[in-house]
């Protein structure tokens, strides 16, 4: 019996206007769907904690000079260690950012930005992508969703979302301990606490197998960098597809 294609691509929240390489993944998925049919699934890795992922580089509409913006965060601990779905946005950030945008993006995107109502980084990015029409007809699966995590297979290389000093942090599980990486050879070892599968998210090396155990995709779209580290032996049933090329791939997609 033939199985309907499941076309998947994955990405962390990567700017409140998505980086152009993510837009290229959307485009590649839609082209592939037009060729073979099936469903498109966006694996939204909102349990990542790296605040650099949400840097958003826009260009001045007259001078073409680049400007890199990012979210403000509630506090230093949250900025450094909380998963993106738990990084809270301070109340003044949307208005302050909106005042800067007219010189860099079309008025329709400024208006869309002002209408987004989300109090955390991952939700804000996702709602902006939705407002830009990128998610139309696409199913979104989130790595921070407890139900997704409970359904996923067991893995030995993972992070655990736990409470620490009043915040949710993403701690690496290492030899039975939970650690926060401060940089270099410096780590904070957290007090031992019980946890279950609803708190677990994968590392880079275990992410493909963990994701595939839930999504069962037939095709996976990625860029060259992702193709280089994916362990394709973890999912031999997947056909891997290179995303379409796009110029200025690390800058924000703000085309009208």
Contact 31, 244 (CB under 8 A): yes
Residue 101 has which token pair? 């945008």
Q: Identify each DSSP E strand in the chain by its residue range.
A: 6-11, 39-44, 56-59, 66-69, 139-142, 158-164, 167-174, 177-183, 186-189, 200-202, 219-222, 239-242
Enter the tokens of residue 162.
Answer: 């736990």
pLDDT tens, N- to C-terminus, the chain (256 residues): 348 999 999 999 999 999 999 999 999 999 999 999 999 999 999 999 999 999 999 999 999 999 999 999 999 999 999 999 999 999 999 999 999 999 999 999 999 999 999 999 999 999 999 999 999 999 999 999 999 999 999 999 999 999 999 999 999 999 999 999 988 889 999 999 999 999 999 999 999 999 999 999 999 999 988 888 888 889 999 999 999 999 999 999 999 6
Q: Which of 2, 8, 31 is nearest to 235 (CA)?
A: 8
3-state secondary structure at position 93: helix
What's the confidence (pLDDT) of residue 185?
87
Distance CA 173, CA 157 (A): 7
Look at residues 1, 35, 64, 51 and name the one whose alpha carbon lies nearest to residue 239.
35
Start-to-end C-alpha separation, the chain? 43
Distance, C-alpha 53 to centroid of its chain:
8
Burial of 13 (0-12, 13-18, 19+ CB in 10 A): buried
According to DSSP, residue 120 is labeled: B
Query: What's the pLDDT at 1?
Result: 38
Q: Any idea where the domains of the chain sit in the sequence? A: 6-145+213-242
Which residue is associated with the tokens 């033939």?
Answer: 2
Q: What pLDDT was estimated at residue 90?
A: 96
**Cβ-proximal residues to 98 (8 Å cutoff; 6+ apart), any chain:** 110, 113, 114
Element (H, E) at 34: helix 20-36
Residue 102 dihedral angles phi and psi, to the nearest 5°: -55, -30
Q: Is 181 exposed, middle or buried (0-12, 13-18, 19+ CB in 10 A)?
A: middle
32 token code pair? 């592939």
Three-class SS of residue 186? strand
Q: Tokens for 28? A: 């590649």
- How far is 184 from 16, CA to CA, in rounded Å? 29
What is the residue whose two structure tokens read 């031999």?
236
Answer whether 0.85 is exceeded by the pTM: yes
């Amino acid at each position: 019996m033939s199985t309907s294609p499941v076309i998947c691509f994955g990405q962390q929240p990567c700017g409140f206007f998505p980086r152009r390489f993510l837009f290229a993944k959307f485009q590649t998925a839609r082209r592939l769907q037009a060729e073979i049919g099936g469903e498109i699934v966006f694996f939204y890795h909102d349990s990542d904690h790296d605040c650099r992922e949400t840097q958003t580089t826009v260009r001045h509409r007259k001078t073409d000079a680049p400007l890199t913006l990012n979210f403000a965060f509630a506090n230093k601990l949250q900025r450094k260690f909380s998963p993106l779905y738990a990084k809270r946005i301070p109340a003044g950030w949307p208005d302050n950012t909106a005042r800067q945008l007219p010189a860099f993006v079309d008025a329709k995107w400024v208006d869309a930005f002002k209408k987004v109502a989300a109090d955390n980084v991952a939700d804000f990015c996702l709602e902006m992508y939705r407002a830009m029409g990128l998610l139309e007809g696409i199913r979104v699966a989130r790595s921070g969703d407890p139900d997704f995590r409970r359904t996923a297979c067991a893995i030995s290389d993972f992070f655990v979302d736990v409470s620490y000093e009043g915040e949710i942090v993403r701690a690496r599980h290492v030899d039975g301990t939970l650690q926060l990486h401060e940089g270099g050879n410096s780590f904070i070892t957290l007090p031992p606490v019980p946890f279950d599968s609803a708190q677990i998210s994968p590392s880079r090396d275990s992410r493909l197998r963990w994701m595939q155990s839930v999504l069962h995709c037939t095709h996976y779209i990625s860029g060259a960098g992702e193709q280089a580290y994916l362990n394709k032996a973890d999912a031999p049933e997947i056909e891997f597809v290179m995303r379409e090329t796009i110029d200025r791939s690390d800058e924000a997609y703000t085309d009208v």
